[in-house]
Structures are given as structure tokens and as C-alpha cells.
Chains A and B, each alone.
Chain A
Amino acid sequence: MLIELKGIHKTYDNGQPLHVLKGIDLSIDNGEFVSIMGSSGSGKSTLLNILGILDNYDEGEYHLDGHLIKGLKEREAADYRNRTIGFVFQSFNLIPFKTAVENVELPLFYQGVSRTKRREAAMQLLDKLGLANWAKHYPNEMSGGQKQRVAIARALITHPRIILADEPTGALDSKTSVEVMDLLGQLNREEKVTIIVVTHESGVANCANKIVHIKDGLIGEIELNSQHHASTFDKNNIK
């Protein structure tokens, strides 16, 4: 198992304790395309933060690729995030004063890869995603879809085992949403990258092969969705 969660609890304490995750058990295997679905407040974002080692948990165990992820030092956590996980965010989170290619190569910079090598790798990846002409452009000169593809390129540059996408289509129109989800699907099929998408849109969730429903901090139903029953991005499916 690539990811194994056992009895994960998480309580936020902002004046008043808020028990967000109440014992999550979840296993995700290598090469899976999973969507985590739930309404806002269900705890899905918290779960994603824990999966991405952006946040810690109070109880339980999280094994990532066989390693127990608990009480890591900042430095170690940074290393895991850098090498094992690629993030795709709802609002892209590109660094505004860096060009597309500079954004893409940034994770390699933090690995200590030399300038020419990382520039080469970033250009290759952008080319593959059809963005070669946009390499020298700043994020604010690009459309939402382009930005998200740059963000995906940035997530892919370190060849991570997992891509964690948090509402990757949240800021996109339906047409580009389809493109982005197709791209993720393609990466899953062709590059065998494990993809975990957190969303509240059933249309987006439907692109995945497995849908994990989360409700009130607990895993509800786990749907196998290899047939992709619902039509994606149908007007009726997007809330």
C-alpha cells in the first residue's frame, strides 16, 4: 500500500475544540486514481492536509510508502513533500513574480539540482503539456487552465509517487475543468502516478476510479467507479 491511514483523529482547537476527523481508516494503492468527496466541513481538506504532510494529526497512524509519518521534523517533512508528493491547488498557487518555467523548476531548486538541468527538465515538461510557448510568461498573463497546467507541471517535475489535488477545477470553467481532469487521468494511466483529488463536485469525482465519500469526519461509502457512470461536467452535475 502506498498510503495507509489507521484511526486518524484530528481536533482543531481555536477557542473551542472542533473534532474534525474522527477515526479515518483508508488505504490507497500505487497507481490508483481516487477522489475524496464530501461537502464543506466534512473534513476532506483536513484529510488532504494530513495526506500531504502539510498538517499533523493527533491520533492514529499514517504510513506513506511504508514510512510512518508522525512527528516529523520540518526538514524531513519538506523532503517528503518535495520528493514524494506533488500538489495541485484550487487557486493554482503559482508564485506571481516567477515565470511559468521558473515556477515549474522551483521544486528541483529545493532539491539542489543545478540551474541548467532543472531548466531543461522544466522546459521538457511544459512542452509535453503544450505550454512551451508560455514558458516565459508570468502567471497573470495566462488563463486559468494554463495556470493549472503549469501547476500540474510543477507537481510533476520531481516525479512524485502521488499527486494531491485540492479542488483542482474549483477556479476553472467547465471546459477547462474537463481538460484538466483529462490530463490528470492521462497521467494516471500513462505514467502510473497515484492521483488523489479532493472535491465536492460529483462531476469531478466521477473522473476517478474510486470515490471515497467523507462525511462528518468519517469515511462513508467507497464507490468503485471504473465505468465512470455519471457523465462528467454535465450541467446538472456541477454544483
Chain B
Amino acid sequence: MHDLFTEIWSSVRRNKLRTILTGLAVSWGIFIIILLLGAGNGLMNAFMKQSHDFATNTMELYGGLTTKPYDGLQQGRWVPLTEQDVKILQGPLFSDHIDEVSASVADGNNKLIEGTRTYTVTLYGVYPANKDMNGEKILAGRYINENDLNERRKVAVISDVQAEDLMGGRDNYKAILGRAITVDDQVFTVVGVRRSDRQWRDTRIHVPFSTYKLIFAYDDLVNKITFTFHGLRTQKENEAFEKRVRAVLNRAHRAAPDDEGALYVWNRFTQNMQMNRGTDILTKALWVVGIFTLLGGIVGVSNIMLITVKERTHEFGIRKAIGAKPKDITKLILAESITITALFGIFGMLLGLGACEVMNATIGSTSMDIFGESVKLLDNPRVGWGVAIEATIVLIVAGTIAGLSPATKAAKVRPIEALREGKG
């Protein structure tokens, strides 16, 4: 090994400028790969930021309009979800896959009056399970619990921004715990503060589902049913299960079992699966672009290796005359090619990692306002160690490819070249 590197160094040393210029093309290629992957990761992270707190194996159900006549009823009929549906889903019919069922109800326009000020808020009647399913983070106090639900307590969980608004002052949200708020002339005790993502004014106030029903609604309608499930791994299994749920619930509402309009099903699990597939494709596309950039560098290295071989023909002749085997010569050239590619590649990789850090510190920490929501363009635009290792493997393979043709050429030098006069 030592001997090999001594040889490589003595060869590279004689052609410093040429080697550096060519090597930089490789650095540039790998730099672009790392930068692209970093930016791609940042883009995907920013994109997925919203969803990543949620339990991933959930489905959400909403009511809809029928699209076909059934059981003597016209199409275009509005089918709302009901508490009966919640019971069906909780029942033994679906216990093979469904774990927990949560429902929520809201009508969207409630007034919270605090002193002389009035806020427009939305009251949500929720189940305790809503906390985990929607990834609610409790900053202070607690979330709605079973006792609240059973006893129909008039308790509320509000968002941190709302709390700060009411208490007047940033990071002052804790002070609201235990205080009473008045919404639509009803008094609720605040028992908890939810974290909002602070990207918009979160005015949602969660109260127990049963309390909401008792006070505001005289029916058993439900806006949304969410449930967690297990044992559905593939897209196919998920679709089959969705079909089963749809058939049962549709029938309960006198809609055609296969009517896809009557019940809207949103499956976060398959959604994620598709998103992952999308990000996979994006990552692959970025690799392809990067590798094509790298290709320029590889062609360059291959080129200088060919020149090197041509220049050293006489020397290889001498080496062969004194006993070097073709394998020895091949090794020499391949090792040189791989070393140049790998060293400059790692240099480019470090630059790329540095650029990702710069990107993280600049674009990654600023957000833009889009439709009133503050959105990060890039979030944590960095690559992991896995990518660095992959890139190194790519470099070694690239170096081998670059050196292959020059090395075979070198190995073919005939020892008789040693006898050609003029050089050496």
C-alpha cells in the first residue's frame, strides 16, 4: 500500500496543475450532487413539516354527496356522518383493524368575548383520542380526557397564540390555565394549552365532544371521524379495507355500497406511502442530474490518465522488462485514477456539506408569506452520513471506470518499448 501511494504521489507530483484542474471537475460534480440532495431534502422537509407530528396510520372520514340513486333515493343527496357511524366503527365489525375511533364536530363560527373584545373562534367537540391522532402537543395543563367526556364538563383546550392574545403578552400562555372563557355565552374553564405551529392564528378551541353536543347541537351529526388502524401494509390492503368501511357506512345511510361520493375517505397512511414514493423519485432524479455533472469530471480524469499512460509508455516498458506483470501496471494506473477521483471528490463533498450548512443558515432559517401563511422554503437542507458514504462509493466506482481504459492500455505496453531510445 505504501509503495503504491509513493508511486501515485511521484506521478501526480510531476503533473500538479493538470491533476488539480482535472480533479476540480470531479470536486464540482460531487459538490453539485451534495448541494442538490441537500436542497432536495430541505424542500421535502419543509413540505412534510406539517404532517410529521401526526400518527401515520390514521384514516379520516367525512360525509359527502351521493353520486348514484339507491334504495329509492335520488343522487346528489347530502350524507352526513353521525354518532351511529362512530359506534359502528368502534364495534366488533371492524375490530380486526381499527384501534381507536375519534370524532369531532364544529360549526365554525363562534364568538369568544373577553372584556370589551370579541374574537372569532371555532369550537371543536373532540374525543380524547384526538390528541394522539392529530399530534397535538400540550404546552401546559392537559388535554380533554375521558372524565370530561363522560361528565360533559365545560372545559376547553386553547392554542398558545390564542392564550397569549387573551392574556396579552408573548409566552404568557400559562397564565390562562384555570381561567374561565366565554364562548357563545357559555363559560368554559381552560384546562390546557395546545401548541400551534405559529404559522397562522390558530383559533381552534377544543371542548369535550359530549359537552359540545349538549350545548350546541340537537342532533347526532359528526363532522369528521378519525380512526387509527393496524395490519394494513400495502396499498391494496388499504384500498380493500376502505371499500369495506364504505360499504358498511353507506348502507347505514341508505347509499349505494360502492358509492364513492357518499363517504369521503382520506387515508394518511397511503398518502404518506405515495409521498414517500414521490420523494424517492425526486431523490433519484437529483442523483441522476448530479451523476451527469460528475460524468464530466470522470471523463476528464480518464483523459489525463490516458495522457499519463502515453507519456509513461517508455517507463512502463522498462518496468515490464525488469519484471512487472501486466497486473502490476494496471494496479498502478487504477490506483492513481481512484486516488485522484476520491481525494478531489471528498474535497468537493466537504465543500458541498459546507454549502448545505450555509444554505441552512440562510434560506433554511427564513420563511416566506404565501397566502397569509408563513412557509419555510427549505427546512434543514442537509444530507445525512448515508449520502456521504454513498457518494464515496460512487467516487470509487467512478475512479475505477475512469482508470479502466487507460489501465488496460498501460498493461498492453510491450516491454520492447524499453529499448526505444530517446527518453529516460
Contact = CB atoms under 8 A, between A and B. Distances in A.
Given A75-B325, A110-B325, A93 B415 contact: no
B164 interface: no
B418 A107 contact: no
B250 to A, nearest CB: 78
A145 to B, nearest CB: 17
B322 A87 contact: yes
Interface residues of A, number: 33
A79 interface: yes
B198 interface: no
Contacts of A93: 314, 318, 321, 418, 424
Interface string B383-424: 000000000000000000000000000000011101101111
A110 B324 contact: yes
Contact of A55 (B318, B416, B423, B424): B416
Contacts of B416: 49, 54-55
Which of B314, B328, B421 has its CB near the most chain A CB atoms (within 10 A)? Answer: B421
Interface residues of B, number: 27
A111 B10 CA distance: 21
A15 B20 CA distance: 42
Given A78-B323, A82-B322, A94-B424, A109 B419 contact: no
A109 B3 contact: yes
Nearest to A94: B424
A52 B319 contact: no
Given A81-B415, A92-B424, A98 B322 contact: no
A110 B328 contact: yes
Contacts of B419: 45, 49, 54, 89, 166
B323 to A, nearest CB: 2
Given A49-B416, A89-B418, A95-B318, A82 B10 contact: no
Nearest to B417: A54
Contacts of A52: 321
Interface in A63-95: 74-75, 77-79, 81-83, 87, 89-95
Contacts, number: 77
Given A106-B322, A107-B323, A158-B323, A91 B421 contact: yes
A80 to B, nearest CB: 9
Contacts of B325: 74-75, 78-79, 110
Contact of A97 (B10, B328, B415): B10
Interface string A50-61: 001011000000
Contacts of A77: 415
Which of B3, B320, B327, B423 has its CB near the most chain A CB atoms (within 10 A)? Answer: B320
A238 to B, nearest CB: 19
A152 to B, nearest CB: 13
Nearest to A84: B323
B322 A110 contact: yes
A115 interface: yes
A172 to B, nearest CB: 14
A10 interface: no
A147 B7 CA distance: 21
B117 interface: no
A113 to B, nearest CB: 11
Interface in B170-225: none
Contacts of A45: 419
A81 to B, nearest CB: 5
B354 interface: no
Contacts of B315: 95
Interface string B294-333: 0000000000000000000011001111111111100000
Which of A49, A55, A75, A78 has its CB near the most chain B CB atoms (within 10 A)? Answer: A78
A74 B325 CA distance: 7
B87 interface: no
Contacts of B319: 95, 106, 110
Contacts of A90: 421
7 contacts: A54-B321, A55-B416, A77-B415, A82-B323, A89-B418, A97-B10, A115-B2
Given A91-B424, A154-B322, 18 more contacts: A54-B321, A54-B419, A74-B325, A78-B415, A79-B323, A81-B321, A81-B323, A87-B322, A91-B421, A93-B314, A93-B318, A95-B424, A97-B10, A97-B11, A107-B322, A110-B324, A110-B325, A111-B323
